[in-house]
Amino acid sequence: MNIPELLQYIPDNFLTAIRSIGRELLYDPKAPMLFSSGLFWMLFLLFLPIYGLVKGTKWKMVLFVVVFSLYFYYKSSGLFFLMLIGTSLIDWGLSHWIYRIKGRGGKLAVVWLSVAISLSILGYFKYANFFLWNWNQMVEGNFQPLDIILPVGISFYTFQSISYIVDVYKQRIAPTRYWIDYLFFLSFFPALVAGPIVRADYFLPQIEKNERPSSQKIWGGLWLIIVGVVKKALIADYIAQYNDLIFNEPSLYTGVQTLMGVLGYTMQIYCDFSGYSDMAIGLALIMGFRLGINFDSPYKSRNLTDFWRRWHISLSSWLRDYVYIPLGGNRKGTFRTYLNNFLTMLIGGLWHGAAWKFIFWGAMHGVGLAVHKAFKPVLQKIPDNWFTIFISWALTFVYVSLLWVFFRAADFESSILIIKNIFEDFQWSQIPQFAQARPAWCIMMAALIVFHFFPHKWSVAVQWAFIRINWVVKLIIFLIAVQLVIEFMSEEVSPFIYFQF
Amino acid sequence: MKSSYLALWLLLAGALAIFLIVGFSDDIKLGDYTVKKAPFAETLFPDSAKVERENYGLEASGGMEATLPEEIMPKEVPTDSLPKNILLFGDSMTMNLALRFAKYAKQNGHQMHAINWDSSNTKIWAETDTLSYYINKLKPDFIFISLGSNEVYFKDPYKRHPYVKQILSVIGDVPYVWIGPPTWDNRTAINDMLEATCRPGSFFRSSGMEFKRKKDKIHPTREASALWVDSIMRWMPKSAHPILADFPSDSLGKVNSNIILLKALNK
């Protein structure tokens, strides 16, 4: 339909258009609102001028963002936004109670009460069927899964809520004076459904300050959004189309095809998650808030400890501060240090999903961390040269990539089949054939790997260049990025991987 | 609004305006390549997409029975009792179908060839010369097509209509049956489109059938595929060109399936 036809068409079909818009604005469980969706950007276009107007007055800004965030959550999880409001009310009330109680024992009891409530809600929605299934396996009962829908982002905001309560107890922060400030923190839409997991002591002072973002931050934010959109909606969604074939039917493919699928998934999960994080951080930056860095070129890591300092930093630092250190950290001897590491990663695995494959994935990372810690004194004696750097990097990369197989494959059997296929059916001669058959996929992967290994200062320099360039050039870059996404977009947009967690 | 916000808003609004204009304009071509458009028209005016489908001579919702005038509805035709040289081709569903079809072929004196191209779809078959190559080589006089399962999730399967037409034009006058994809979550649009595009009586609608699936919850198991073929062959007398389709006896012995496997690599 061209524009003249459209102009003729609109008056007759005005009500249809209104109905279509209305339908788009309602909750659709099959189409949660993503930052990469057109609907989000249209709403953001409406949001931005009003936000610019109310930003000067804190209470207006807070109220407006809370309303928008709750609508955003409604679009993603339907009526579960009411549960988010309820959770925030309970947390806020309990945080004031903790603050007022004099004795340590009493404070601690309320902290445990709050943590128990948060984990019970998370446990019911996320783990009830898993535990029931396992229980029935043990007693050989007839398992009927409960009809439970997992609210999007519950794992993320539950961890934020726990950090707030613990920080109030530890007197790192005072409870927010107004409930709505806490609801703002918990429901802040850029970080609501997939993180980064924002710490109360880092974020709450920013609400109080209500700083107007500088022009640099606004354009820097837009740059991060463009990078995030390209990573998530262009690269991850495109390479996923091939990776899915391999993981859905592992027995059908050659060793080289399977290996490429595994490498592809290794890069896909990074682009998917870090791309979404970039968009979230960029949006927050435009609004004048900092969420902190969540990924720092994780595949440059030379050991597993380094990997977890660079991968999903907001989760790994949360686990360190609220699980590993309370368990005793490295203060209770060598064995306990390894055990604490292992247990922390086990919980990290379970956080990702209610399935044994996630627990296994977490456990194997725990084992890897313990082994690295055990051999650290020996490793430190090895001279640092290009060869040793390459070997340590390659070992880490291969270990991490192989564990992603268990993370992604449908079950343990499929994971073993995939790994076996790579080692038993690999033929060098298949590589040129593969490159010839899938040139776009190979080019995208190669470009991605090259960009990933760029020095950090180069990406900062590019960001600064974008901030400084002319408005028209910015517009052209934005248009090119979005058009590329449209060109490569699969007909059905892949869901964001970390939504399910 | 602060000036930086204004500049950002203008940039986003300008980009939206450009994508809207492009979305509702005629196709933009760069050489042979057509620039893709953002799907504003389909989202805002779902009926306009319907109008476009009608321009193709299609209507989705009712399927064949609801849209075809009575005079072109399939009428019962006598069974062609000659042995056939059958070609079955399609995506990864084809393999298990072929195993059962081969038994029917042996029972009824037909010759059977099958081409299983993993992960293939209508676009791939339409844009490559694989089909015309095998038709020229094998010279089939009856064709079964098993395609569409890799297009079940497409928001608008009518975009695949040109590819389906292309495949059917390569098949030409050879009698065929298109076996509709065994959809697994109530998505029927692809079946609707195929049904509306195929000649009357040449489409077997598989959506709505119950299948025992493999672990991927998509592919029917080998046993379920056999039952699927049995259903197709039971339906055969009602098709546009019925062929001999007696149920295979247990004493057939070894059956050669003649399956050509094309890896997804060639996509």
Backbone Cα Rg of chain A: 24
Model confidence over A467-493: pLDDT tens digits?
999 999 999 999 999 888 888 765 444
Backbone Cα Rg of chain B: 22
Are A100 and A197 found together in one domain?
yes
Asked if B16 and A6 come within 8 Å (Cβ–Cβ), the reply is no
Q: What is the mean pLDDT of chain B?
A: 79
User: How high is the pLDDT of residue A318?
Assistant: 92
Range from A3-12, A191-200, B98-107 carrying the lowest mean pLDDT: A3-12
User: How high is the pLDDT of residue A184?
Assistant: 94
Q: Are B127 and B155 in contact (CB under 8 A)?
A: no
User: How high is the pLDDT of residue B232?
Assistant: 92
Chain region(s) in chain B for CATH 3.40.50.1110: 82-266
Give chain A's domain count.
Answer: 2
- The C-alpha atoms of residue B262 and residue B267 are separated, in whole angstroms, by 9
A 10 A CB-CB count for B258 gives 17
Q: Which residues of A are part of the catalytic machinery?
A: 352
Instruction: Say which residue, A182 or B56, is predicted with more confidence.
Output: A182
Interchain CB contact of A45 with B (< 8 Å): yes
Range from A393-402, A425-434, B161-170 carrying the lowest mean pLDDT: A425-434
Q: Is B145 helix (H, G, I), strand (E, B) or coil?
A: strand
Are A199 and A228 found together in one domain?
no
Q: Assess if residue A24 is contained within a domain.
A: no
Closest C-alpha to A374, from A335, A340, A342, A325:
A335
Interchain CB contact of A35 with B (< 8 Å): no
Q: Assess if residue A278 is contained within a domain.
A: yes
Interchain CB contact of A438 with B (< 8 Å): yes
A303–chain B nearest CA distance, Å: 34
**Long-range contacts (CB closer than 8 Å, 24 or more residues apart) made by A77-80:** A77/A27, A77/A32, A77/A151, A77/A152, A77/A153, A78/A27, A78/A29, A79/A27, A80/A149, A80/A151, A80/A152, A80/A154
- The C-alpha atoms of residue B161 and residue B190 are separated, in whole angstroms, by 10
Q: Are B23 and B39 in contact (CB under 8 A)?
A: yes
Are A194 and A79 found together in one domain?
yes
Which one of B2, B40, B94, B259 makes the best mutation probe of the A interface by having the most chain A beta carbons within 10 Å? B2
Q: Are A259 and A223 in contact (CB under 8 A)?
A: no
Instruction: Say which residue, A238 or B254, is predicted with more confidence.
Output: A238
> Average of pLDDT values for B4-13?
89
Question: Which two three-digit tokens encode residue A334?
Answer: 């060598």
User: How high is the pLDDT of residue A335?
Assistant: 87
State whether ipTM is beyond 0.90: no
**Which residues are within 8 A (CB) of A195 and not within 5 positions of it... i.e. 6 or more apart?**
A156, A277, A280, A294, A312, A314, A315, A498
Name residues 154-193 of chain A within 8 A of B (Cβ): none
Q: Assess if residue A169 is contained within a domain.
A: yes
Q: Assess if residue A350 is contained within a domain.
A: no
- The C-alpha atoms of residue A267 and residue A81 are separated, in whole angstroms, by 33
Alpha carbon separation from A77 to A25, A34, A161, A189, B93 (Å, rounded): 13, 12, 18, 13, 35
Q: How confident is the model at residue B57 (pLDDT cuts 50, 70, 90)?
A: very low
- Secondary structure (DSSP) of A380-393: HHS---HHHHHHHH
Phi, psi of B33 (to 5 degrees): -90, 135
Are A234 and A189 found together in one domain?
no
B128–chain A nearest CA distance, Å: 13
- Burial (CB < 10 A; 0-12, 13-18, 19+), residue B33, is exposed
- The C-alpha atoms of residue A368 and residue A374 are separated, in whole angstroms, by 10
Question: Which two three-digit tokens encode residue A190?
Answer: 């850029």
Q: What is the mean pLDDT of chain A?
A: 86
**Which residues are within 8 A (CB) of A481 and not within 5 positions of it... i.e. 6 or more apart?**
A226, A229, A230, A234
User: How high is the pLDDT of residue B41?
Assistant: 66
The whole model's pTM is what?
Answer: 0.71
> Average of pLDDT values for A28-51?
82
Q: How many CB pairs (< 8 A) connect A and B?
A: 136
Domain that holds residue A105: 31-209
User: How high is the pLDDT of residue B43?
Assistant: 65
Are A235 and A203 found together in one domain?
no
B238–chain A nearest CA distance, Å: 35
**Which residues are within 8 A (CB) of B158 and not within 5 positions of it... i.e. 6 or more apart?**
B49, B52, B53, B56, B58, B60, B193
The residue among A176, A192, A209 that closes a domain is A209
**What single letter denotes the amino acid at residue B30?**
L
Q: If residue B27 lies in a helix (H) or strand (E), which one and from where to where?
A: none
Are A421 and A463 found together in one domain?
yes
- The C-alpha atoms of residue A1 and residue B48 are separated, in whole angstroms, by 8
Q: Assess if residue A459 is contained within a domain.
A: yes
The CA dihedral of A92, A96, A97, A103, to the nearest 10 degrees, is: 140
Asked if A45 and B13 come within 8 Å (Cβ–Cβ), the reply is yes
Cis preceding-peptide flag for A377 (omega within 30 of 0): no
Question: Which two three-digit tokens encode residue A168?
Answer: 């109030």
Asked if B45 and A212 come within 8 Å (Cβ–Cβ), the reply is no
Are A248 and A202 found together in one domain?
no
Are A141 and A286 found together in one domain?
no
Are A415 and A471 found together in one domain?
yes
Q: Assess if residue A371 is contained within a domain.
A: no
Phi, psi of B59 (to 5 degrees): -145, 130
User: How high is the pLDDT of residue B67?
Assistant: 38
A 10 A CB-CB count for B62 gives 12
Q: How confident is the model at residue A233 (pLDDT cuts 50, 70, 90)?
A: confident
What is the side-by-side strand order in the sheet with B85-90? B203-204, B176-179, B142-146, B85-90, B111-117, B259-262
Q: Nearest 5°: CA angle at A285, between A490 and A275?
A: 25
> Average of pLDDT values for B166-178?
92
Q: If residue B30 lies in a helix (H) or strand (E), which one and from where to where?
A: strand B29-30
User: How high is the pLDDT of residue A133?
Assistant: 76
Look up the CATH number of domain B82-266: 3.40.50.1110
> Average of pLDDT values for B132-154?
88
Q: Which residues of B touch A218 (CB under 8 A)?
A: 4-5, 8
The residue among A209, A226, A248 that closes a domain is A209
Are A121 and A227 found together in one domain?
no
Closest C-alpha to B164, from B221, B121, B217:
B121
- The C-alpha atoms of residue A154 and residue B204 are separated, in whole angstroms, by 44
User: How high is the pLDDT of residue B61?
Assistant: 36
Q: Assess if residue A162 is contained within a domain.
A: yes
Q: If residue A311 lies in a helix (H) or strand (E), which one and from where to where?
A: none
The residue among A193, A209, A225 that closes a domain is A209
Q: Are A221 and A285 in contact (CB under 8 A)?
A: yes
Q: Assess if residue A74 is contained within a domain.
A: yes
Phi, psi of B89 (to 5 degrees): -140, 160
DSSP strand pairing (B33-34 vs B29-30): antiparallel
